[in-house]
C-alpha cells in the first residue's frame, strides 16, 4: 500500500477523514471529478445529496478498480457541494457511510470540502475528485 493516513498529535481528530496522507508509491493518479451518473449517464438520486455522494464514491471506486487500485491508495479527496451549509453534513456523512459499506472499506483520506454555486447540470448536487498514489 502506497498511502499511510495519520492524525498528528496537536491537530484535531476528525471522524470523516485523517489530517495527513503520506505517499510512497511511484505513480500519481488523478481522477476527474465524479458526479452522480450511473454507467448509462443517468443522474442517480435527483434532489438527494446522500444518494449522490454515495454514487460519486462508487464511481471513484470504479475508476480505481480499473487501474488495479482501491480507496486505500487515495491520498486526497476534494468535494464540491452545491449551496453548502453545515446542516448538510449529516447527509454528506451518510452518503460516505453507505458507500463505505458497499465497498467494504473506510475511505478517510484527507479531504477538502468546497461550497459552490452550481455544477455542470442543475441535477448534480456534488462532485468529488480524487488523487491516488500507486506502485
pLDDT tens column, 54-69: 999 999 999 999 999 9
Residues 135 and 124: their CA atoms lie apart, in Å, by 33
∠1-130-69 over CA atoms, to 5°? 35
| Rounded CA separation 34/76 (Å) | 14
Least confident of 1-5, 29-33, 61-65: 1-5
Calculate what percentage of the chain has a pLDDT beyond 90: 76
Amino acid at each position: 500500500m502506497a498511502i499511510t493516513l495519520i492524525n498528528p498529535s496537536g491537530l484535531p481528530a476528525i471522524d470523516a477523514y485523517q489530517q495527513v496522507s503520506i505517499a510512497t508509491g511511484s505513480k500519481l493518479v488523478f481522477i476527474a471529478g465524479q458526479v452522480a451518473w450511473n454507467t448509462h449517464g443517468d443522474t442517480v438520486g435527483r434532489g438527494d445529496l446522500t444518494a449522490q455522494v454515495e454514487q460519486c464514491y462508487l464511481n471513484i471506486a470504479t475508476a480505481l478498480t480499473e487501474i488495479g487500485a482501491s480507496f486505500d491508495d487515495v491520498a486526497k479527496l476534494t468535494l464540491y457541494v452545491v449551496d453548502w451549509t453545515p446542516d448538510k453534513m449529516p447527509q454528506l456523512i451518510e452518503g460516505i457511510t453507505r458507500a463505505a459499506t458497499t465497498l467494504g472499506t473506510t475511505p478517510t483520506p484527507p479531504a477538502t470540502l468546497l461550497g459552490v454555486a452550481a455544477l455542470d447540470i442543475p441535477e448534480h448536487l456534488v462532485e468529488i475528485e480524487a488523487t491516488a498514489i500507486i506502485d
